[in-house]
Amino acid sequence: MRALLQRVIQASVTVEGKIIGQIDAGLLVLVCAMPEDDYDTAKALALKISKLRLFKDEAGKMNLSLTQTGGSALVVSQFTLAADTRRGTRPGFSYAAKPDVAETLYLQFASALRDLGLPVETGKFGADMSVALTNDGPVTLWLDTDA
């Protein structure tokens, strides 16, 4: 799986003019399932994200995890993280998991974060979404379970 994490002060996702997911301080997680991914991959990525020390401690150093800060996660499916841009000017997306598999893994990933005790909001798989955020830092990380 691939994930782009953004530490946020707040974030929300809107579908058809209605906010369907919203968090205060925490992480916006844009996530993409790849063809070789499975439930174990989703669980491993959730565990990694829950433990990453991306939040400031009392000394101002990034020493605290999302779990330690009590922050939330807004999880949004984003197949474009699988873009292949090696040729031409139009990205290809054949490296993303097929939609039925991707949706299952996306939901399993969000559920795995919840199982770790994190408050989780989500977008709507396959929908045209508007994502709003106030990036904190900015702190943005790219994770790839294949790497």
Active site members: 78-80
Tokens coding 30: 């844009």
Confirm if 130 and 13 have CB atoms less than 8 A apart: yes
Task: Write the Ramachandran bin of 71: left for phi over 0, alpha for psi from -120 to 50, otherwise beta.
Answer: beta
Q: What share of the chain is helix, strand, coil (3-state, %, to 5)?
A: 25, 40, 30
* Burial bucket for residue 44 (CB in 10 Å: 0-12, 13-18, 19+): middle
